[in-house]
A and B are shown apart, each in its own frame.
Chain A
């Protein structure tokens, strides 16, 4: 087995940066108590201004005020960590979150699918860069060695235990993941790199140090197996973005929404599922004395989808219909219904090369803008009453059992009185009498009529009624 260690050196900062529309603005994450605010991390442009992690906010403000601050939130970092685990789950079934800011994944069994390691690695790097996470990747025959080598290397691939030992022997003692006091003690004994430590007799090491030191070293060089808890993807998806300003327009919500949906698509890709229904919560600024309820935007699809652009397009269509009653402070996306994704059937040789969008996708787009009920099929229902003979649903079985009587191509939704002189009755009456059992009792005599202008219509008169003809359809 080969284990890849993906080290994310600035996970917290990247997580915040990728949600900002202008990544080039100086930014610092701050933490600490209200009395002493400290810069936790800074981005590259802030570093150019002279800001350093560990500075107090007061001294940073003494130098410049030209930078944005965001509260450092360990929970958010944890969220990103899990999201990336969901992403890594696409590439390997064994992903571990044992170490903070690190993804450990078993890669050798995935080579058959993703190609040899250089190709595979290029793909991982490309996707991480596209998501906006800086990273270091190292491969080693055991997870602990991969983790420790990532402390000093990037892009290193060690594939057998012999070369692993050579590499590890050169590692300095204080970067091997040993506790502070152990590595200090080793340093004071004059042991600088692992080769010198391994050259010592085992029993003396065992006598001088606690048992876990030897265990750690054995695991590192692959003499002792390591048990890892594997990541299991959750059954639903939820993400939340807190905007650090109040937003009242749709436009400003689109960028965070796009990021959230990209994350959703990422998660779905890892789980090999699609989404059928998701909810966008717009959390409003609480007004004085009362809490404003969230505005909910339901996005429902007829079939499971997971393509990020399409999901965004649909969500955008729904969002633009919504009137935002008060400023929005945060956005939340929840997806609970995650059925298996079945790719739609495509012909190898499409008759029309320009066919850019399949009907299912088009239908979703129309429903997103026009409303859920806007697109309907048409089916025949075996009933003699014309208004009951059609239904706005599509049936899968072919219509059958209709009798070849003359019926108009157009049916009026509501019959209209026909108060026109010069009508000519061409045929009729045809008696339609039905529905006494369900309350919609109908007794009508239908006539085929022709208007003075020559149009042919279908009109009726209720049996026993004295009213004029009511137009019910056109023979178009």
Chain B
């Protein structure tokens, strides 16, 4: 019996026991503007200087309601917001009602391949507060490039993609799926902690 007793220190030294270490929390988290979502995310907001994926069943399923509070806050502090190849025209009246100063908004029209290039340029330059894109056919490598570019330029990057992409792995720091019925948010992956298992209610009244 005594022979089976192994010193804990020895086990740790052999590195055979995995030890959970407290992660260093990034200080400048960007609040999402949705209290329930902020509470559920381990760093209390969008991961700064990283790519966030928003997975939606179809364009126009609540992605704007999710992002508007953040965009409004960034625009107020004078940051530029770039929409690269948006699927539709942003209706200025609605954006203004949501509190986003449309003067800080820039729209870039480009085809699929040029759009990725433009997103990367915008992220790398570091002169934008947030860059939104709608990559349709995009592979793992392209997303990783965007993630690296977002880190380099310390810029918030948002990619809106279809929900069928949820099955594929992604280098994004945060992945959120929006469900329309019932209206809720599901965090699929978040860097720096476990993803909350239960969905977060997402109120329809904007």
Contact (Cβ within 8 A) B122 A398: no
Contact (Cβ within 8 A) B180 A386: no
Interface residues on A, range: 35 or more
Give per-residue flags for B78-109: 1 if the beta carbon is below 8 A from chain A beta carbons, else 0.
Answer: 00100000111111111111100111011111
Chain B residues near A457 (CB, 8 Å)? 60
Given A410-B60, A410-B87, A476-B65, residue A376 in contact with residue B109 (CB < 8 A) = yes
Give per-residue flags for B111-144: 1 if the beta carbon is below 8 A from chain A beta carbons, else 0.
Answer: 0001001100110111110000000000000000
Query: How many angstroms from the CA of A66 to the CA of B183 in the assembled complex?
Result: 79
The secondary structure that dominates the A interface is: loop
Contact (Cβ within 8 A) B59 A389: no
Query: How many angstroms from the CA of A28 to the CA of B53 in the assembled complex?
Result: 62
Q: Quick one: which of A361, A366, A411 contacts B118, CB cutoff 8 A?
A: A366
Query: How many angstroms from the CA of A67 to the CA of B88 in the assembled complex?
Result: 62
Given A380-B92, A411-B91, residue A453 in contact with residue B57 (CB < 8 A) = yes
B58 at the interface (CB under 8 A from A): yes
Residue of A nearest to B115 (CB): A370
State the Cβ distance, A364 to closest chain B Cβ, in Å.
11
Query: How many angstroms from the CA of A380 to the CA of B90 in the assembled complex?
Result: 11
Query: How many angstroms from the CA of A359 to the CA of B152 in the assembled complex?
Result: 16
Chain A residues near B19 (CB, 8 Å)? none
- Identify which of residues 425-463 in chain A touch chain B, using a CB-to-CB cut-off of 8 Å: 453-457
Q: Quick one: which of B89, B103, B114, B117 contacts A377, CB cutoff 8 A?
A: B103
Given A389-B93, A474-B59, residue A359 in contact with residue B127 (CB < 8 A) = yes
Contact (Cβ within 8 A) B103 A379: yes
Query: How many angstroms from the CA of A139 to the CA of B117 in the assembled complex?
Result: 53
Contact (Cβ within 8 A) A409 B59: no
Given A369-B114, A455-B61, A457-B60, residue A378 in contact with residue B90 (CB < 8 A) = yes
A399 at the interface (CB under 8 A from B): yes
Q: Quick one: which of A370, A409, A456 contacts B114, CB cutoff 8 A?
A: A370
Chain B residues near A370 (CB, 8 Å)? 108-110, 114, 118
Determine, out of A93-101, A214-222, A304-312, A348-356, the stretch whose residues face the partner at the interface. Answer: A348-356
Contact (Cβ within 8 A) A474 B60: yes
Contact (Cβ within 8 A) B91 A398: no
Contact (Cβ within 8 A) B154 A389: no
Contact (Cβ within 8 A) A376 B107: yes
Contact (Cβ within 8 A) B109 A402: no
Query: How many angstroms from the CA of A379 to the CA of B204 in the assembled complex?
Result: 27
Residue of A nearest to B109 (CB): A374
Given A358-B127, A374-B109, A395-B103, residue A455 in contact with residue B93 (CB < 8 A) = no
Some 28 contacts from A to B, beta carbons below 8 A apart, are A354-B154, A357-B126, A358-B125, A358-B127, A362-B127, A366-B118, A366-B122, A369-B114, A390-B89, A390-B90, A398-B101, A399-B96, A402-B97, A407-B97, A409-B90, A409-B98, A410-B90, A412-B88, A453-B57, A453-B58, A453-B180, A453-B181, A454-B61, A455-B180, A457-B60, A475-B206, A476-B60, A476-B61
B63 at the interface (CB under 8 A from A): yes
Contact (Cβ within 8 A) B61 A410: no
Give per-residue flags for A230-274: 1 if the beta carbon is below 8 A from chain B beta carbons, else 0.
Answer: 000000000000000000000000000000000000000000000
Contact (Cβ within 8 A) A399 B114: no
Query: How many angstroms from the CA of A408 to the CA of B126 in the assembled complex?
Result: 30
Query: How many angstroms from the CA of A235 to the CA of B118 in the assembled complex?
Result: 36
Given A378-B90, A389-B91, residue A359 in contact with residue B105 (CB < 8 A) = no
B64 at the interface (CB under 8 A from A): yes
Query: How many angstroms from the CA of A369 to the CA of B113 in the assembled complex?
Result: 12
- Identify which of residues 257-314 in chain A touch chain B, using a CB-to-CB cut-off of 8 Å: none
B47 at the interface (CB under 8 A from A): no
A225 at the interface (CB under 8 A from B): no
Q: Which of A361, A386, A392, A410 has the most CB of B within 10 A?
A: A410
Chain A residues near B44 (CB, 8 Å)? none
Q: Which of A356, A373, A413, A476 has the most CB of B within 10 A?
A: A476
